[in-house]
Amino acid sequence: MNMRIDWPELFFSSSGRVGRLPFLLAAVSLIVMLALYQSALGGNVFTGVFAYPLLFFSGACVLSKRLHDRGRSGWWTAVILFAFIMIWPHPEGLLDFLGLAVIGWAFVELALMSSEQGANRFGPNPMRATI
């Protein structure tokens, strides 16, 4: 099993596949960075112009790779990120609970279910040892 994680590739490229553990580490680190940024600077407009797009892009790349690993199109990333934006920092209205349902589906699909066995149209299984 190849457990080496290429962090720049994980956060800044949407092609290929990523296993469950690197995905979970990346997702938690992005959510922690978002929470720290908002608590420290309160969503400052001047720094937000750079911070939010960078976090959004990195999140899209990480989600896309994990969706590829599950055999899904990376375009599902748009649905998941839209739902995440709807409920951040907490769901308030009735419509937000639809976003919460999408996040629940994404959690089960991406965090709990294992990779597709073998290679798929997005590349080889990332958990196989490289020879």
Greater pLDDT, 89 or 77:
77
Select from 120, 15, 90, 118 the least CA-distant residue to 60: 15
- pLDDT bin (cut points 50, 70, 90) of residue 104 is very high
Select from 14, 127, 36 the least CA-distant residue to 89: 36
Provide the pLDDT for residue 127. Answer: 79
* CA atoms of 115 and 20, how far apart (whole Å): 7
**35 and 6 in contact (C-beta within 8 Å)?**
no
Q: Is the pLDDT of residue 1 over 80?
A: no
Q: Is the pLDDT of residue 85 over 60?
A: yes
Domain ranges of the chain: 16-112
- pLDDT bin (cut points 50, 70, 90) of residue 111 is very high
Average confidence (pLDDT) over 104-131: 86
Q: Is the pLDDT of residue 2 over 80?
A: no
pTM, two decimals, is 0.87
- pLDDT bin (cut points 50, 70, 90) of residue 131 is very low
Q: Is the pLDDT of residue 24 over 90?
A: yes
Question: What are the CA-CA distances from residue 11 to residues 1, 32, 55, 57 (Å)?
Answer: 21, 15, 9, 8
**35 and 88 in contact (C-beta within 8 Å)?**
no
Q: Give percent of the chain with pLDDT exceeding 90.
A: 63
